[in-house]
Amino acid sequence: MKPKSPYLQYIVDYMLTRQYSLRTIETYLKWITSFIHFHQKRHPSSMGDSEVEIYLEYLVLTKNVSPRTQATALNSLSFLYKHIVKNELSQNLNFARSKRQPKLPVVMTKDEVKLLMTKLTKRYYLIAGLMYGSGLRVMESIQLRVQDIDFDYKCIRVWNGKGNKHRVVTLAVELIPALRNQILQVDEYLKLDLKNEQFSGVWMPYALAKKYPSANKTLAWQFLFPSHNLSNDPETGEIRRHHFHHTCIRKAVKAAVNAAGLTKQITPHTFRHSFAIHLLQAGADIRTVQIQLGHSDVQTTQIYTHVLQQGANGVTSPLSHL
């Protein structure tokens, strides 16, 4: 992540030193760059509320973005003006807000999940199994560490999920043999890396690197899905082994969907949607599903009950009585 602009590089460095995730940095940088280009590359310090309002309206009226996308753009610019420009935006910005209806979740049947997973390579089968079997998000899956898998209690500990929340989710016992084998592969990578004098250990979150200076070279802290290649830490330049990139998962799922001949708009997140629906169909209560998914508000989870109640499981079509 090396922007050509010194100003954008300063933003990256600022966020890295404050432990923002790489994905958050990429997202904020995308919207800040778009904002600057939209205003003919004017410097943000020469702009303010009115330029932000015009940009946010452009996103809605011209680009027809969703409310969530518009909110992400606003969050990015709010960060820019609060932490970089040091001139916070008004709390009462006046702009047209997106009214585009959110998409309903696409859900696979159990047979479709089974078929799709047979089309995934071994490298991605286990990740898909965790997304469907435990309701994990893509980033939550690839950021797992070896020590996050609890074989004794058959659960997974998710640290700093969306909203920086922690939670414990169920672990499908069917995945245990594959997980143990994956950990053996991680151990082989680690043994190889430890022979490299330049290897600085896996990246450790927050102040843990200082608190446990030797932990970054232990098996427990290694990423469960390590990258095939070593790379430079974008913050320090040190040689480390990171985890799979999330785009690899998306490409693998897309290829598997095509190979399976499925016509639904399926993405990696569809595994998580299917996890929630299939739990509810099996009799799980909404509160249990909410906790497993890590939703702060049960209303977010209730979208899945709406899918069930409004479809064949809840409403019988009058055509069926003819």
**Which of 162, 245, 264, 287 does the annotation list as catalytic?**
162
The DSSP symbol for 85 reads: S
Instruction: Note if 86 is an active site residue.
Output: no
CA 98 → CA 53, 56, 65, 203, 302, distances in Å?
13, 9, 7, 38, 22
Q: What is the mean pLDDT of the chain?
A: 91
* pLDDT, position 1: 60
Does pLDDT of 312 surpass 60?
no
Residue 230 burial by CB count (10 A; 0-12/13-18/19+): exposed, middle or buried? middle
What share of the chain has pLDDT > 90, as a percent? Answer: 71
**Which of 137, 145, 243, 278 does the annotation list as catalytic?**
137
Instruction: Note if 39 is an active site residue.
Output: no
CA 126 → CA 68, 235, 269, 292, distances in Å?
30, 30, 15, 19
Instruction: Note if 304 is an active site residue.
Output: yes
Instruction: Note if 246 is an active site residue.
Output: no
CA 20 → CA 14, 174, 235, 310, distances in Å?
9, 35, 11, 40
Shortest CA distance to 224 belongs to which of 130, 135, 318? 130
* pLDDT, position 278: 94
Cα–Cα distance between 120 and 26 in angstroms, integer? 28
- List, for residues 76-91, the tens digit of each pLDDT value: 999 999 999 999 999 9
Q: Are 129 and 156 in contact, with CB atoms under 8 Å apart?
A: no
CA 302 → CA 74, 94, 132, distances in Å?
27, 31, 18
Amino acid, res. 120:
L
β partners of residue 158 = 167
Q: How many CB atoms lie within 10 A of CB 125?
A: 17
The DSSP symbol for 133 reads: H
The angle formed by the CA atoms of residues 162, 167 and 171, to the nearest 5 degrees, is: 110
- List, for residues 12-47, the tens digit of each pLDDT value: 999 988 878 888 899 999 999 999 999 999 999 999
Does pLDDT of 206 surpass 70?
no
Instruction: Note if 43 is an active site residue.
Output: no
Helix, strand, coil % in the chain, rounded to nearest 5: 55, 5, 40
Is the model's pTM score more than 0.85?
no
Does pLDDT of 204 surpass 90?
no
**Which of 240, 242, 272, 278 does the annotation list as catalytic?**
272
Amino acid, res. 132:
Y
Helix axes 268-281, 110-118, angle to 10 degrees: 140
- List, for residues 262-273, the tens digit of each pLDDT value: 999 999 999 999
Cα–Cα distance between 249 and 14 in angstroms, integer? 29
Which range (156-170, 180-194, 201-215) has the least confidence?
Answer: 201-215
Does pLDDT of 233 surpass 60?
yes
Summarize the confidence of residues 185-194 as an average pLDDT.
96
- List, for residues 235-286, the tens digit of each pLDDT value: 788 999 999 999 999 999 999 999 999 999 999 999 999 999 999 999 999 9
What share of the chain has pLDDT > 70, as a percent? Answer: 97
Does pLDDT of 199 surpass 90?
yes
Cα–Cα distance between 278 and 109 in angstroms, integer? 8
Q: How many CB atoms lie within 10 A of CB 217?
A: 15
Mind listing the domains of the chain with CATH numbers? 6-84 (1.10.150.130), 103-315 (1.10.443.10)
Instruction: Note if 264 is an active site residue.
Output: no
Does pLDDT of 318 surpass 80?
no
- List, for residues 92-125, the tens digit of each pLDDT value: 999 988 887 777 789 999 999 999 999 999 889 9
- List, for residues 49-58, the tens digit of each pLDDT value: 999 999 999 9
φ/ψ of 147, rounded to 5, equals: -70, -10
* pLDDT, position 8: 94
CA atoms within 13 A on the CB side of 200: 13
Cα–Cα distance between 232 and 100 in angstroms, integer? 41
Q: Are 209 and 161 in contact, with CB atoms under 8 Å apart?
A: no
**Which of 28, 81, 124, 304 does the annotation list as catalytic?**
304
* pLDDT, position 126: 96
